[in-house]
Structure 1
Amino acid sequence: MDTPRLQLPCPHCGATNRLPAARIDDAPNCGKCGGPLLQGQPLELGDDNFDAVVAATALPVLVDFWAPWCGPCRMMAPAFAQAGAQLQGQVLFVKVNSDDNPGLSQRFGIRSIPTLVRLQAGRETSRQSGALPAGAIVALAQRG
């Protein structure tokens, strides 16, 4: 069976990198420029690769279920990215577009967006709906 792979754009040079999901905790670098690929930025996942990444990481995962048409989602996006940069290497920050990934939205019972779901070892440990500032996102991510 093939190892699931992610396609990650480099935030430095824009090159697309194929990364095995099992290496998500290895602080991967770009194959072209050598810069860090994740650098605390949220990882966009969907129905096709979400489970592989969550299963591969030993870190807690904080998932932002959002949609492009949602004003509060767009307003919270910079705070979510800021919290991800602050907790780089401690928590994996993930964004899931609920419109494009109905399977995940249904599985997690997403009824309103934005909704943040914290996972530890694949199990939900906490949840919060509504836009939050960066400090509240950090607190939710660190909550066990």
Structure 2
Amino acid sequence: MPEPIKIVCPHCDAVNKLPADKLSAGGKCGKCKKKLFAAKPATLTAANAQRHFEQSDIPVVVDCWAAWCGPCKSFAPTFNQAAKKLEPAFRFAKLDTEKEQR
């Protein structure tokens, strides 16, 4: 039996274990009961980004964007389409660089 794959919930940040052969079906979070994949990018913050990077067994692809950035706005539909097409093999997420400055 294959090792379970760890997936961080995009809603409550709980770490979930999914059987590898069930990954394509998505699944629901054991804590908040919401879908682990919604065919759209998750939202990362300074508070939860590290957890997603360190605890998830699938690659996390991040779009670091800002509201004033024209190229960021132009790229958003492409990034959203990639999330729709490539999840759950990858976690797509967006990080607002203006809100999350340290």
**What TM-score, normalized by structure 2, do the two folds share?**
0.69
1:29–1:35 Cα contact (<8 Å) kept = yes
Q: Does the residue aligned with 2:71 lie in a helix, a strand or coil?
A: helix
**Matches of 1:6 and 1:47, distance apart in 2:** 16
1:23 is aligned to 2:22: no
C-alpha contact 2:41 2:91 (8 A) present in aligned 1: yes
Structure 2, gaps ≥5 residues long: 1-7
Please show how residues 2-81 of structure 1 align to structure 2 within 5 Å: 8=11, 18-20=12-14, 22-23=15-16, 27-29=26-28, 36-81=35-80
State the shift of 1:87 in Å: 0.6
**Native 8 Å contact 1:66 1:98 kept in 2:** yes
Partners of 2:45 and 2:96 within 8 A in 1 = yes
Give the Cα–Cα distance (whole angstroms) in 2 for the partners of residues 68 and 86 of structure 1: 25
Structure 1 residue matching 2:82: 3-state secondary structure: helix
Distance 1:83 1:28, change over 3 A: same
Q: Give the TM-score of the pair, scaled to structure 1.
A: 0.51
Cα displacement string for residues 37-91 of structure 1 (whole angstroms, at most 9, x for unaligned residues): 5222111101111001111111111111100111211111111010011111111
- Rounded to whole Å, the distance in 1 between the matches of 2:36 and 2:90 is 15
Contact 1:6–1:49, Cα closer than 8 Å, also in 2? no
AA aligned opposite 2:53: V
Please tell me the residue identity of whatever aligns with 1:76: F
Q: Which has the higher contact order (CA 8 A, sep 6+)?
A: 2
Percent sequence identity over matched residues? 29
2:79 and 2:70 mapped to 1: Cα distance?
14
Moved beyond 3 Å, runs of 4+: 24-31, 34-37
Quick one: which amino acid aligns to residue 37 of structure 2? L
User: What RMSD in Å do the two structures reach over aligned CA positions?
Assistant: 2.8
